């Protein structure tokens, strides 16, 4: 893998994270409930933190041993109901976040399988693992929300 290819992949990943930041920021401006706005700010900060991680990968590279196995509760995979884009309940925000992270995890996992270059595969596997961590976080919040009888 060339330095240019490596940087192009990281630029792609950063653009996706910036889109996520913009997504959560837009939801904040549409929401009226302080608790929801605060949660959306946390989500925005989480995505901004991921940009920092990706920039760190740019500087230090990827160590295959740094890729952690992440449990998958598969909650988002079982949610098939189409969401009302206008609905901004706590539950719908969590579902949107889970689905967004699920899609990113799938994208990076698929990309890791498409390239013969071992370094590129490792990079995409690392990005997929980071997205899977975010997905797990939202699935745990969702599970907690449902277990409280909501």
CB 49 within 8 A of CB 20: no
Contacts of 76 (CB under 8 A, 6+ apart): 95, 98, 99, 101, 102, 135, 138, 139
Report domain extents, the chain. 3-147
Q: Token pair for residue 103?
A: 């899609």
Q: E strands, the chain, where?
A: none
Closest-CA residue to 133 (of 75, 60, 62, 69): 69
11-30 residue pLDDT tens: 999 999 999 999 889 888 88
16-68 residue pLDDT tens: 999 999 988 988 888 888 888 888 898 899 899 989 988 988 888 888 888 98
**Stretch 123-139: mean pLDDT, rounded?**
92
Task: Tell me the longest C-alpha to C-alpha distance in the chain.
Answer: 52
- Please report the pLDDT score of residue 5 as a whole number: 85
Name the DSSP letter for residue 81. S
CATH 1.10.630.10 fits 3-147, yes or no: no
The alpha carbon torsion through 92, 12, 133, 145 (nearest 10 deg) reads -10
């Amino acid at each position: 893998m060339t330095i240019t290819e490596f940087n192009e992949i990281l630029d792609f990943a950063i653009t996706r994270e910036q889109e996520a930041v913009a997504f959560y920021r837009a939801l904040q401006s549409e929401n009226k409930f302080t608790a929801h706005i605060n949660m959306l700010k946390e989500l925005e900060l989480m995505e901004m933190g991921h940009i920092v991680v990706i920039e760190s990968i740019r500087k230090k590279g990827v160590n295959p041993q740094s890729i952690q196995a992440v449990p998958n509760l598969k909650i988002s995979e079982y949610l098939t109901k189409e969401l009302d884009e206008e609905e901004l309940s706590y539950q719908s925000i969590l579902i949107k976040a889970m689905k967004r992270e699920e899609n990113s995890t799938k994208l990076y996992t698929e990309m890791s399988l498409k390239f013969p270059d071992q370094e590129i595969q490792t990079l995409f596997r690392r990005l997929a693992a980071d997205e899977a961590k975010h997905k797990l976080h939202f699935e745990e919040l969702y599970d907690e929300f449902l277990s409280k009888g909501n």
